[in-house]
């Protein structure tokens, strides 16, 4: 369970003491200070080679410089060198494209990232916030041209945001790509700390900060029903809603690990609790049912019921796992 946006020494110290060995950040988190703190602490402890460090590039760091943003080779190279300096290391374990810039050819991105792997400056590459077709094309290019493959995707995924299950999860299964969800607690909504105010979450916090950001899940009526079932399951298990929500997402298909963003040691402790128990199948099924998204077109056509009608057979056709 990687810690994301490590902006305090206390949280990082506790995470490392608890046995944590994966830290995720980005060059724009805390305006670069996040990388600096991580680098300082790992150097002080002499634990760089015991910890997997991942960081990202894409987002502009200088609005007056057209080359200071996007996924082109020039910005990629400059971003990596700056991150290496702040992190006080000579390599990045996982280097992520932070977001699809919509203009840089995927051929250029994959060739540039693969070159960094060949140089030993990057050990593995990943994509965050890209279309499924883009990730698919990238992985096929890697296979055809013997480039470094895409090892993982970072995408929003939680009990109230499961739309990646329609396209991304099957694609990752087919192309052997791991999943690292971000916002598994829906920006704090699934902790239960927000109160409903006419169907809208009331109270200040991370959810309020990200409410207007494009592409981030916005709370809808059914999310309150999901939260209600989550709180009931958490009570039955004697756990916090956050721990149950994290446990549930960590055990979903293709999930290798999940990110947690914390602002205090207390929050980190509650999140680490998620790795200490098992949700019984009957309770997990309740969470699955209440949070299951309605498949948009054309995914409803691929349901077991519809496929049976297509084949007009009394037999059930299933794929091998």
Catalytic residues: 29
Write out the DSSP string of 58-79. Answer: -S-S-TT-TTSSSSSHHHHHHH
Question: What totals of helices (H) and strands (E) does the chain contain, helices first?
Answer: 12, 10
- Distant-in-sequence contacts of 167-171, Cβ < 8 A, 24+ apart: 167/132, 167/299, 168/132, 168/135, 169/253, 169/254, 171/132, 171/135, 171/136
CB atoms within 10 A of CB 44: 10
Backbone φ and ψ for 4, nearest 5 degrees, come out as: -110, 150
CA 40-46-48 angle, 5° bins: 75
Helix (H) or strand (E) holding 144: helix 132-145
Residue with tokens 């987002």: 59
Q: 254 CB contacts (<8 Å, ≥6 apart)? A: 169, 172, 173, 177, 178, 179
């Amino acid at each position: 369970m990687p810690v994301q946006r490590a902006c305090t020494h206390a949280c990082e110290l506790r995470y490392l003491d608890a046995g944590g060995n994966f830290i995720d950040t980005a060059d724009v988190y805390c305006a670069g200070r996040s990388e600096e703190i991580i680098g300082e602490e790992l150097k002080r402890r002499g634990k760089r080679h015991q910890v997997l460090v991942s960081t990202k590039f894409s987002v502009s760091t200088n609005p007056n410089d057209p080359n200071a943003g996007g996924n082109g080779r020039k910005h990629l190279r400059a971003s990596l060198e700056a991150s290496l300096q702040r992190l006080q290391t000579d390599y990045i374990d996982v280097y992520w494209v932070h977001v699809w810039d919509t203009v840089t050819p995927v051929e250029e991105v994959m060739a540039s990232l693969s070159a960094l792997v060949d140089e030993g400056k990057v050990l593995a590459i990943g994509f965050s916030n890209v279309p499924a077709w883009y990730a698919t094309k990238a992985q096929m290019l890697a296979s055809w041209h013997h480039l470094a493959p895409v090892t993982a995707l970072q995408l929003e995924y939680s009990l109230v945001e499961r739309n990646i299950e329609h396209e991304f999860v099957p694609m990752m299964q087919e192309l052997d790509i791991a999943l690292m969800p971000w916002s598994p607690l829906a920006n704090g909504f699934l902790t239960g700390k927000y109160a409903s105010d006419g169907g809208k979450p009331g109270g200040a916090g991370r959810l309020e900060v990200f409410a207007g950001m494009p592409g981030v899940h916005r709370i809808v009526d059914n999310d309150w029903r999901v939260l209600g079932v989550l709180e009931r399951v958490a009570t039955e298990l004697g756990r916090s809603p956050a721990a149950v929500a994290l446990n549930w997402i960590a055990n979903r298909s293709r999930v290798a690990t999940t990110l947690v963003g914390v602002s205090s040691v207390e929050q980190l402790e509650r999140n680490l609790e998620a790795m200490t128990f098992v949700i019984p199948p009957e309770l997990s099924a309740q969470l699955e049912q209440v949070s299951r998204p309605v498949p948009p077109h054309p995914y409803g056509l691929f349901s077991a019921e519809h496929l049976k009608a297509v084949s007009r057979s009394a037999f059930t056709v299933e794929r091998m796992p």
